[in-house]
Amino acid sequence: MYEDLLKFAIAFFVVVEPVSLVPAFAGLTAGAGSDHQRRMAVKAVIVAAAICLLFALGGTAFLDVMGISLDAFKIGGGVLLFLIAVDMVFARESAPRHTTAQEASEARRREDISVFPLAFPLITGPGALAAILLEVSEPGLSITAKAALLGVILLVLLITLAFMLLATPLMRVIGVTGSNVVSRLSGVVLAALAVQYMIDGLRGAFT
Protein backbone atom coordinates (compact mmCIF):
# COMPACT_ATOMS: atom_id res chain seq x y z
CA MET A 1 0.00 0.00 0.00
CA TYR A 2 2.79 2.41 0.87
CA GLU A 3 4.54 1.87 -2.48
CA ASP A 4 1.30 2.48 -4.39
CA LEU A 5 0.57 5.56 -2.30
CA LEU A 6 4.05 6.95 -2.94
CA LYS A 7 3.70 6.29 -6.66
CA PHE A 8 0.36 8.09 -6.68
CA ALA A 9 1.74 11.00 -4.65
CA ILE A 10 4.55 11.52 -7.15
CA ALA A 11 2.28 11.16 -10.18
CA PHE A 12 -0.38 13.52 -8.79
CA PHE A 13 2.17 16.14 -7.74
CA VAL A 14 3.83 16.02 -11.15
CA VAL A 15 0.62 16.33 -13.19
CA VAL A 16 -0.70 19.17 -11.01
CA GLU A 17 2.68 20.93 -11.46
CA PRO A 18 2.48 23.56 -8.68
CA VAL A 19 5.76 25.15 -9.82
CA SER A 20 4.80 25.58 -13.47
CA LEU A 21 1.35 26.79 -12.38
CA VAL A 22 2.95 29.89 -10.85
CA PRO A 23 3.58 31.75 -14.18
CA ALA A 24 0.04 30.97 -15.38
CA PHE A 25 -1.50 32.23 -12.13
CA ALA A 26 0.69 35.34 -12.14
CA GLY A 27 -0.34 36.09 -15.73
CA LEU A 28 -4.06 35.57 -15.12
CA THR A 29 -4.05 37.81 -12.04
CA ALA A 30 -1.68 40.46 -13.40
CA GLY A 31 -2.67 43.90 -12.19
CA ALA A 32 -5.03 42.56 -9.51
CA GLY A 33 -4.61 43.38 -5.86
CA SER A 34 -3.15 40.94 -3.36
CA ASP A 35 -6.57 40.40 -1.74
CA HIS A 36 -8.12 39.42 -5.06
CA GLN A 37 -5.22 37.08 -5.86
CA ARG A 38 -5.52 35.43 -2.45
CA ARG A 39 -9.29 35.02 -2.83
CA MET A 40 -8.96 33.49 -6.29
CA ALA A 41 -6.24 31.08 -5.15
CA VAL A 42 -8.18 29.85 -2.11
CA LYS A 43 -11.46 29.44 -4.01
CA ALA A 44 -9.71 27.65 -6.90
CA VAL A 45 -8.14 25.11 -4.53
CA ILE A 46 -11.47 24.52 -2.78
CA VAL A 47 -13.21 23.87 -6.11
CA ALA A 48 -10.32 21.65 -7.25
CA ALA A 49 -10.55 19.67 -4.01
CA ALA A 50 -14.29 19.14 -4.58
CA ILE A 51 -13.63 17.86 -8.11
CA CYS A 52 -10.91 15.50 -6.88
CA LEU A 53 -13.14 14.25 -4.06
CA LEU A 54 -15.93 13.52 -6.55
CA PHE A 55 -13.60 11.47 -8.74
CA ALA A 56 -11.97 9.72 -5.78
CA LEU A 57 -15.29 8.60 -4.30
CA GLY A 58 -17.16 7.93 -7.52
CA GLY A 59 -14.36 6.81 -9.82
CA THR A 60 -14.91 3.07 -9.47
CA ALA A 61 -18.67 3.41 -10.00
CA PHE A 62 -18.00 5.54 -13.08
CA LEU A 63 -15.78 2.86 -14.62
CA ASP A 64 -18.38 0.19 -13.84
CA VAL A 65 -21.20 2.18 -15.44
CA MET A 66 -19.09 2.82 -18.55
CA GLY A 67 -18.07 -0.85 -18.71
CA ILE A 68 -14.36 0.00 -18.64
CA SER A 69 -12.03 -2.59 -17.14
CA LEU A 70 -9.24 -1.59 -14.78
CA ASP A 71 -6.59 -2.91 -17.18
CA ALA A 72 -8.05 -0.92 -20.08
CA PHE A 73 -8.08 2.23 -17.99
CA LYS A 74 -4.49 1.65 -16.88
CA ILE A 75 -3.42 1.45 -20.52
CA GLY A 76 -5.48 4.48 -21.57
CA GLY A 77 -4.53 6.51 -18.50
CA GLY A 78 -0.88 5.58 -18.97
CA VAL A 79 -0.97 6.80 -22.58
CA LEU A 80 -2.56 10.09 -21.50
CA LEU A 81 0.00 10.64 -18.74
CA PHE A 82 2.83 9.77 -21.14
CA LEU A 83 1.64 12.38 -23.65
CA ILE A 84 1.50 14.97 -20.87
CA ALA A 85 5.01 13.93 -19.80
CA VAL A 86 6.31 14.41 -23.36
CA ASP A 87 4.90 17.95 -23.42
CA MET A 88 6.55 18.63 -20.06
CA VAL A 89 9.96 17.31 -21.17
CA PHE A 90 9.93 19.43 -24.32
CA ALA A 91 8.50 22.46 -22.44
CA ARG A 92 5.39 22.50 -24.59
CA GLU A 93 2.02 23.59 -23.22
CA SER A 94 -0.40 20.68 -23.36
CA ALA A 95 -4.00 21.42 -24.27
CA PRO A 96 -5.34 21.52 -20.71
CA ARG A 97 -2.76 24.12 -19.69
CA HIS A 98 -2.73 26.08 -22.91
CA THR A 99 -4.69 29.31 -23.06
CA THR A 100 -4.88 31.47 -26.15
CA ALA A 101 -4.25 35.21 -25.95
CA GLN A 102 -7.99 35.80 -26.29
CA GLU A 103 -8.80 33.39 -23.43
CA ALA A 104 -6.14 34.96 -21.20
CA SER A 105 -7.51 38.42 -21.96
CA GLU A 106 -11.05 37.26 -21.18
CA ALA A 107 -9.91 35.67 -17.93
CA ARG A 108 -8.24 38.89 -16.83
CA ARG A 109 -11.45 40.82 -17.54
CA ARG A 110 -13.56 38.40 -15.53
CA GLU A 111 -13.87 39.13 -11.85
CA ASP A 112 -13.85 35.45 -10.86
CA ILE A 113 -11.31 33.16 -12.57
CA SER A 114 -11.17 30.63 -9.74
CA VAL A 115 -13.36 27.94 -11.35
CA PHE A 116 -12.24 28.43 -14.95
CA PRO A 117 -9.44 28.31 -15.85
CA LEU A 118 -7.76 27.90 -12.43
CA ALA A 119 -9.59 25.01 -10.74
CA PHE A 120 -10.24 23.34 -14.09
CA PRO A 121 -8.28 22.70 -16.20
CA LEU A 122 -5.12 24.29 -14.76
CA ILE A 123 -5.12 22.50 -11.38
CA THR A 124 -7.35 19.47 -11.95
CA GLY A 125 -6.80 18.69 -15.60
CA PRO A 126 -7.32 15.32 -17.32
CA GLY A 127 -3.93 14.08 -16.12
CA ALA A 128 -4.72 14.69 -12.44
CA LEU A 129 -8.17 13.11 -12.74
CA ALA A 130 -6.72 10.11 -14.58
CA ALA A 131 -4.12 9.63 -11.83
CA ILE A 132 -6.89 9.64 -9.21
CA LEU A 133 -9.04 7.16 -11.14
CA LEU A 134 -6.07 4.85 -11.70
CA GLU A 135 -5.47 4.69 -7.97
CA VAL A 136 -9.06 4.43 -6.65
CA SER A 137 -9.99 1.77 -9.20
CA GLU A 138 -7.49 -0.70 -7.71
CA PRO A 139 -9.43 -3.72 -6.36
CA GLY A 140 -9.59 -4.28 -2.61
CA LEU A 141 -8.71 -0.71 -1.67
CA SER A 142 -9.26 -0.41 2.08
CA ILE A 143 -10.88 2.51 3.90
CA THR A 144 -7.48 3.37 5.37
CA ALA A 145 -5.92 3.45 1.91
CA LYS A 146 -8.73 5.68 0.60
CA ALA A 147 -8.27 8.04 3.54
CA ALA A 148 -4.52 8.17 2.86
CA LEU A 149 -5.26 8.82 -0.81
CA LEU A 150 -7.50 11.76 0.05
CA GLY A 151 -4.81 13.02 2.43
CA VAL A 152 -2.22 13.00 -0.37
CA ILE A 153 -4.61 14.87 -2.69
CA LEU A 154 -5.28 17.48 -0.01
CA LEU A 155 -1.56 17.87 0.72
CA VAL A 156 -0.69 18.46 -2.93
CA LEU A 157 -3.52 20.98 -3.28
CA LEU A 158 -2.33 22.82 -0.16
CA ILE A 159 1.18 22.96 -1.65
CA THR A 160 -0.36 24.30 -4.85
CA LEU A 161 -2.20 26.96 -2.84
CA ALA A 162 1.04 27.98 -1.13
CA PHE A 163 2.78 28.34 -4.50
CA MET A 164 -0.03 30.52 -5.87
CA LEU A 165 -0.07 32.72 -2.77
CA LEU A 166 3.69 33.20 -3.20
CA ALA A 167 3.49 33.65 -6.98
CA THR A 168 4.96 37.14 -7.08
CA PRO A 169 8.15 36.46 -5.06
CA LEU A 170 8.55 33.02 -6.68
CA MET A 171 8.46 34.52 -10.17
CA ARG A 172 11.29 36.84 -9.15
CA VAL A 173 13.35 33.86 -7.95
CA ILE A 174 12.71 31.08 -10.46
CA GLY A 175 11.32 32.92 -13.48
CA VAL A 176 9.78 31.16 -16.48
CA THR A 177 13.06 29.40 -17.35
CA GLY A 178 13.41 27.90 -13.88
CA SER A 179 9.81 26.74 -14.03
CA ASN A 180 10.46 24.99 -17.35
CA VAL A 181 13.56 23.25 -15.95
CA VAL A 182 11.56 21.84 -13.02
CA SER A 183 8.78 20.84 -15.41
CA ARG A 184 11.21 18.94 -17.67
CA LEU A 185 12.73 17.01 -14.79
CA SER A 186 9.26 16.15 -13.49
CA GLY A 187 8.24 15.06 -16.98
CA VAL A 188 10.93 12.38 -17.05
CA VAL A 189 9.61 10.92 -13.78
CA LEU A 190 6.02 11.06 -15.03
CA ALA A 191 6.97 9.33 -18.29
CA ALA A 192 8.46 6.41 -16.36
CA LEU A 193 5.35 6.13 -14.18
CA ALA A 194 3.10 6.28 -17.25
CA VAL A 195 5.02 3.45 -18.92
CA GLN A 196 4.69 1.39 -15.74
CA TYR A 197 0.91 1.94 -15.75
CA MET A 198 0.75 0.72 -19.35
CA ILE A 199 2.92 -2.33 -18.60
CA ASP A 200 0.69 -3.25 -15.64
CA GLY A 201 -2.42 -2.85 -17.78
CA LEU A 202 -1.05 -4.93 -20.64
CA ARG A 203 0.15 -7.63 -18.25
CA GLY A 204 -3.28 -7.83 -16.64
CA ALA A 205 -5.12 -7.82 -19.96
CA PHE A 206 -3.14 -10.64 -21.54
CA THR A 207 -2.57 -12.97 -18.57
Give the chain as a 3 state SS string: CHHHHHHHHHHHHHHHCHHHHHHHHHHHCCCCCHHHHHHHHHHHHHHHHHHHHHHHHHHHHHHHHHCCCHHHHHHHHHHHHHHHHHHHHCCCCCHHHCCCHHHHHHHHHCCCCHHHHHHHHHHCCHHHHHHHHHHHCCCCCCHHHHHHHHHHHHHHHHHHHHHHHCHHHHHHHCHHHHHHHHHHHHHHHHHHHHHHHHHHHHHHHCC
pLDDT confidence bin for 102, thresholds 50/70/90: low
pLDDT confidence bin for 172, thresholds 50/70/90: confident
**Average pLDDT, stretch 81-93?**
83
Residue 4 has pLDDT above 90, yes or no: no
**Average pLDDT, stretch 181-187?**
84
Angle between helix axes 18-28 and 101-109 (nearest 10 degrees) is 70
pLDDT confidence bin for 101, thresholds 50/70/90: low
- What percent of the chain shows pLDDT beyond 90? 35
The pLDDT, as a whole number, for residue 184 is 86
Highest mean pLDDT among 23-27, 60-64, 201-205: 201-205
Name the burial class of residue 61, with classes exposed (0-12), middle (13-18) and buried (19+) by CB atoms within 10 angstroms of its CB. exposed
Residue ranges covered by each domain of the chain: 2-205
Which residues, 6 or more positions from 46, have their beta carbon under 8 angstroms from its beta carbon?
none
Residue 99 has pLDDT above 70, yes or no: no
pLDDT confidence bin for 164, thresholds 50/70/90: very high
Mean per-residue pLDDT over the chain, rounded: 85
Residue 195 has pLDDT above 90, yes or no: yes
**Average pLDDT, stretch 163-185?**
85
**Average pLDDT, stretch 152-161?**
97
pLDDT confidence bin for 12, thresholds 50/70/90: very high
- Give the predicted TM-score (pTM) of the model: 0.79
